[in-house]
């Protein structure tokens, strides 16, 4: 499982790099065209926006595996003996939220597909633009299954040692 996580993170990092570089190049080109040549690309801002959305949803998965998400640690601070147990609960809640995101992301794509919605300037199907939501959910589920397992192992290892 650890190897699969490692390969997934490499693919995620590559996707993040590609989407970020693409967005920066397109926006830079747009600025140059607009202010130097007094012309612009009608699709550039929309395209960059979708790349930033991909970057964000894939980035949430990397943040999860590196434990970089914002969290409230008040209970863990106030109840240090229950810290590992509370971490398990927190990870399970994140896993459930990821499943929620995947489920409703797929529903959103189905709605967009049925309604044949297209993006305003690029005229690509909106369901393609929204694919990053269930992709992010699926990546998070994969990561949180591993994280929950690790947290449970830590929780029980601590109890056995006590």
Q: Could you say which DSSP state residue 125 is in?
A: B
Measured in residues, the chain has a length of: 162
- Whole-number Å distance between alpha carbons of 53 and 48: 9
Say what the pLDDT of residue 158 is. Answer: 58
- Is this prediction's pTM over 0.85? no
Please list the pLDDT of the chain residue by residue as tens digits (162 residues).
788 888 988 999 898 888 889 889 999 999 999 888 888 888 888 888 888 888 888 888 888 888 777 776 777 778 778 788 888 888 899 999 999 999 999 999 999 888 888 888 888 998 888 898 999 999 999 999 999 999 888 887 755 555
Compute the distance between CA of residue 23 and CA of residue 134 in angstroms, rounded to an integer: 21
For 65, 72, 111, 119, 137, the CA distances from 6, given in Å and listed in that order, are: 10, 27, 34, 34, 18
Domain ranges of the chain: 2-161
């Amino acid at each position: 499982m650890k190897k699969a996580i490692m390969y997934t993170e490499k693919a995620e990092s590559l996707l993040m790099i590609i989407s970020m570089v693409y967005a920066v190049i397109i926006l830079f080109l747009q600025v140059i065209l607009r202010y130097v040549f007094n012309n612009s690309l009608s699709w550039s801002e929309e395209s960059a926006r979708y790349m930033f959305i991909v970057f964000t949803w894939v980035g949430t998965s990397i943040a999860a595996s590196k434990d970089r998400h914002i969290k409230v640690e008040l209970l863990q601070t106030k109840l240090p003996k229950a810290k590992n147990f509370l971490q398990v609960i927190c990870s399970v809640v994140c896993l459930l939220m990821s499943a929620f995101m995947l489920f409703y992301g797929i529903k959103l794509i189905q709605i967009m597909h049925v309604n044949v919605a297209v993006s305003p300037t690029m005229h690509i199907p909106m369901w393609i633009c929204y694919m990053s939501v269930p992709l992010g959910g699926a990546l998070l589920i994969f990561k949180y299954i591993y994280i929950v397992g690790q947290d449970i192992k830590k929780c029980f290892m601590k109890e056995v040692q006590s």
